Amino acid sequence: MNSERRVNCAIPPYILEDLLESDDPEVRKAALNTLLTTARLRGARTVLAAFPGAATPGNGRRTVFDCRNGTDFAFAVLARSEDGPPSSDGAANRAFDALGKTREFFQRVFARNSIDGQGMRLDGYVHYDEKYNNAFWDGREMCFGDGDGIIFSDLTGSISVIAHELAHGVTEHTAGLVYRDQSGALNESISDVFGTLVEQWTLNQTADQADWLIGREVFTPMVQMDALRSLKAPGHAWERDPQPDHMSNYVHTSSDHGGVHSNSGIPNKAFYLTAAAIGGPAWEAPGMIWYESLKASNSETRFQEFADTTYQKAGDLYEVGGLQQQAVLGAWQQVGITVTGVPAGIAKEQGRLVDESSDAGQQDSVAAVARRVQALAGQVQELGNDVAMLKGRVTSAR
Ligand SMILES: [Zn+2]
């Protein structure tokens, strides 16, 4: 295992940067505060890594601790354990339940014994820091802030976010996708896929009943954001959502580890399209294909190899040339990735399907131009943000 532990935060940096532009001074202040505390957390990760004990086998037993608004785990007190009664604290119970649902999902759907496949115990820490606007998984435990009540609500309220964070642990213990550029965006996407699947499984929703949103519950009504991300409609979870849903709009940036929270929109959309084409519960065939492909991947896997693997797995697990494999092939095609190693007969069949919908193809290209224009507008906005931030720094330095 890596000696350097990476902290996975639930709230991507671009959302906080966007909120620095809010018309509401309270929201701007809260966003700045969160950016500062997140930076402080990065500095503190060696302290977190030094915390003893949690990553030991324990049949996925859950324990929730109350940080009592501090940041030192040593002073946290027990709030709820596997054998104990429910807590009088709602946040502790919500965290406990979400850890349990995620554990149960991996056990029942994929026969996986907790995050590491070996019964790793699940420790949650609630009321981390004061009004802390984030939740994170540090490789051993899950921490939750209360939110400031201005931008963010209590972060124990979103099962898709909690499952997303824990899924980073599953990825760490399987493919170990490097958290940078395409492998990093794939790492993010895998977490979104399992994040929404845990929620859909909990609510017993089919692919067409689900809303495919990550973090619907995290924002207060004071901010104009519906959710953090949408797998069904990347780029549309909120007004200036920067996620592309096609390779032609891949975001080239050095920030956010090479746009890991943006470009995850591309494989996210491919998963959604696969699930929509297959129909029924998305955790069944689509989930199984993705899970087996994750296990067959390595730390350097990029979109193309992952797409090829999902195609291969769909054939291995179900039927070569069958509905599942066709769905996977078509889904990647629609996000601009052509699966390699497809036998000629199947590729031809797929080509025919695309030809028949040539009108839709034309509409797609108009949409692609529109998206490109939107992306350019986004870049201009980003420049504006940078200038505003720099100005802010000059002002605060005075
Ligand atoms: Zn993440």
Which tens digits make up the pLDDT trace of 124-163? Answer: 999 999 888 888 998 889 999 999 999 999 989 999 999 9
For range 325-346, the mean pLDDT? 92
Which residues are part of the catalytic machinery? Answer: 165, 261
CB 349 within 8 A of CB 326: yes
CA of 377 to the centre of ligand 1 (A): 26
CB 261 within 8 A of CB 12: yes
> Which pLDDT does position 387 carry in this prediction?
52
CA of 10 to the centre of ligand 1 (A): 6
> Which pLDDT does position 379 carry in this prediction?
54
Instruction: Please state, rounded to an integer, the average pLDDT across all residues of the chain.
Output: 86
Between the alpha carbon of residue 107 and those of residues 96, 102, 195, the distances in Å are: 17, 9, 15
> Which pLDDT does position 282 carry in this prediction?
98
> Which pLDDT does position 170 carry in this prediction?
97
The rounded distance, in Å, linking the Cα atoms of 164 and 155 is 13
Q: Which residue has the higher pLDDT, 312 or 21?
A: 312
pLDDT of 298 strictly over 80? yes
The count of other CB atoms within 10 Å of the CB of residue 117 is: 15
**What is the band of 374 on the pLDDT scale with cuts at 50, 70, 90?**
low
Q: How many CA atoms lie within 13 A of 82 on its CB side?
A: 11
pLDDT of 43 strictly over 80? no
> Which pLDDT does position 343 carry in this prediction?
80
Share of the chain above pLDDT 70, in %: 80
For range 7-33, the mean pLDDT? 86
Could you tell me whether strands 141-144 and 135-137 are parallel, antiparallel, or unpaired per DSSP bridges? antiparallel
Q: Which residue has the higher pLDDT, 279 or 140?
A: 279
The rounded distance, in Å, linking the Cα atoms of 224 and 71 is 30
CA of 87 to the centre of ligand 1 (A): 28
pLDDT of 355 strictly over 60? no
Q: Which of the 8 DSSP states describes residue 85?
A: P
CA of 168 to the centre of ligand 1 (A): 7
Q: What domains are defined for the chain?
A: 8-157 (3.10.170.10), 192-356 (1.10.390.10)
Residue with tokens 């929730």: 64
Q: Which amino acid is at 118?
A: Q
pLDDT of 102 strictly over 90? yes
Which tens digits make up the pLDDT trace of 63-99? Answer: 999 999 998 888 999 999 998 999 999 999 999 999 9
The rounded distance, in Å, linking the Cα atoms of 397 and 22 is 21
Q: Which residue has the higher pLDDT, 396 or 204?
A: 204
> Which pLDDT does position 52 carry in this prediction?
42
